[in-house]
């Protein structure tokens, strides 16, 4: 008996609905998001090919300190890191949650997961992701491999629901795309590569033609070739090309609608496009581990703590 394909997408949607409902059972705000965030990671682990790892954690990277010595440093904690599973060391720092350290060279991209997209949660996510997306921050983290190649992980925001401010595309007080548009809002912070609101829309930079085309593929549920012929897609790309000399008239971000029923699959299809474009670089794991686990004096206030307290290796004498 053939499987009923139409029912499969409904099962995926129910998993996300159930996770959202479980979160509502908790009274503490910091516990509300746990089952919802866990569901996103589980969904990606189940759906992605085995070469991709998925975990909560920190990104560890080498950087020059004072121009004199190279040291290891870590980012803030990210909800979801998608990494190269076959080469990434198993630096788990919390067995219960699976939180781990991931070398920057093994990172494909990161996703911040939110229950409801409010001004506060959106600002928090953008601020955290800026550590990877902002060119000034990224320049400190990215190294070239022996072939001179560099890579920059993609960044995404995922939300189960919109809010009254960023509600449905027709009733929102402020359209999400406009909030992200630096032409209008000028926040000075590099925006994410995509924002996905599960029951509403996904928003992508208008300059990213490949992501825009994939967005229309998802919207029309067609192929990339079919999306390339879509009338709305062609109208927008032709307009953007005509205004190339005056980009201030072109929206920085473009919004495409999704529904609660197919939002998770749309999120996955869009994310696959970002993953396929990543070209990770080679690195010396032994070198990185020497920097990560280098003993640090406990009484030196000028040395920045690299690892969470339960992993920091110190020596009383500072030797």
Residue range 181-232, pLDDT digits in tens: 764 444 455 789 999 999 888 899 888 999 999 999 988 989 999 999 999 9
Report the domain count for the chain.
2
Asked whether residue 92 falls in the same domain as residue 186, the answer is yes
Asked whether residue 235 falls in the same domain as residue 160, the answer is no
Asked whether residue 109 falls in the same domain as residue 223, the answer is no
Asked whether residue 163 falls in the same domain as residue 116, the answer is yes
* Residue 65, domain member (yes or no): yes
- Which range marks the domain in which residue 220 is found? 216-250
Asked whether residue 236 falls in the same domain as residue 144, the answer is no
* Residue 112, domain member (yes or no): yes
Asked whether residue 232 falls in the same domain as residue 144, the answer is no
Asked whether residue 144 falls in the same domain as residue 244, the answer is no
* Residue 25, domain member (yes or no): yes
Residue range 246-283, pLDDT digits in tens: 766 778 888 898 888 888 999 999 999 999 999 998 88
**Distance from chain centroid for Cα 176:** 17
Asked whether residue 91 falls in the same domain as residue 228, the answer is no
* Residue 211, domain member (yes or no): no
Contact 162, 168 (CB under 8 A): yes
* Residue 30, domain member (yes or no): yes
Asked whether residue 246 falls in the same domain as residue 257, the answer is no
Asked whether residue 121 falls in the same domain as residue 44, the answer is yes
Written as tens digits, the pLDDT of the chain (319 aa) is 777 777 777 888 888 888 888 888 876 766 677 889 999 999 999 999 999 999 999 999 887 666 666 778 899 999 999 999 999 999 999 888 889 999 999 999 999 999 988 888 888 998 899 888 776 666 666 555 555 556 789 999 999 988 766 655 555 556 778 778 764 444 455 789 999 999 888 899 888 999 999 999 988 989 999 999 999 999 988 888 888 777 667 788 888 988 888 889 999 999 999 999 999 988 888 888 888 887 765 544 444 444 554 443 333 333 3
Q: Rounded to an integer, what distance in angstroms lies between the CA atom of residue 300 and that of residue 305?
A: 10
Asked whether residue 70 falls in the same domain as residue 201, the answer is yes
Asked whether residue 264 falls in the same domain as residue 193, the answer is yes
* Residue 264, domain member (yes or no): yes
Q: Rounded to an integer, what distance in angstroms lies between the CA atom of residue 147 and that of residue 167?
A: 46
* Residue 228, domain member (yes or no): yes
Task: Report which of 171, 240, 172, 159 is spatially closest to residue 202, judged by C-alpha positions.
Answer: 159
* Residue 89, domain member (yes or no): yes
pTM for the model stands at 0.85
């Amino acid at each position: 008996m053939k499987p009923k394909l139409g029912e499969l997408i409904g099962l995926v949607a129910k998993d996300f609905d159930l996770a959202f409902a479980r979160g509502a059972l908790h009274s503490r705000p910091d516990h509300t998001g746990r089952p919802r965030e866990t569901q996103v990671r589980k969904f990606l682990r189940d759906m992605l090919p085995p070469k991709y790892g998925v975990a909560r954690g920190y990104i560890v990277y080498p950087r020059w300190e004072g121009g004199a010595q190279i040291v290891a440093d870590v980012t803030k904690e990210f909800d979801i890191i998608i990494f190269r599973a076959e080469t990434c060391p198993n630096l788990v720092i919390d067995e219960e949650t699976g939180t781990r350290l991931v070398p920057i060279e093994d990172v494909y991209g990161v996703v911040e997961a939110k229950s409801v997209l409010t001004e506060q949660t959106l600002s928090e996510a953008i601020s955290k992701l800026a550590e990877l997306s902002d060119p000034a921050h990224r320049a400190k983290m990215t190294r070239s491999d022996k072939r001179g190649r560099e890579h920059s992980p993609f960044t995404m925001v995922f939300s189960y629901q919109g809010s009254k401010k960023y509600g449905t595309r027709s009733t929102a007080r402020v359209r999400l795309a406009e909030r992200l548009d630096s032409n209008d809002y000028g926040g000075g912070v590099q925006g994410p590569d995509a924002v996905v609101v599960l029951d509403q829309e996904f928003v992508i930079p208008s300059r990213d033609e490949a992501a825009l085309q994939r967005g229309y593929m998802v919207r029309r549920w067609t192929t990339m070739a079919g999306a390339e012929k879509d009338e709305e897609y062609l109208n927008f790309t032709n307009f953007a090309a005509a205004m190339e000399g005056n980009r201030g008239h072109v929206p920085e971000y473009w919004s495409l609608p999704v529904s609660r029923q197919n939002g998770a699959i749309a999120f996955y299809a869009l994310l696959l496009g970002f993953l396929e474009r990543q070209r990770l670089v080679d690195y010396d794991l032994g070198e990185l581990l020497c920097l990560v686990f280098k003993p640090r004096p406990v009484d030196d206030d000028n040395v920045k703590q690299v690892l969470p307290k339960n992993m920091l290796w110190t020596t009383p004498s500072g030797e």
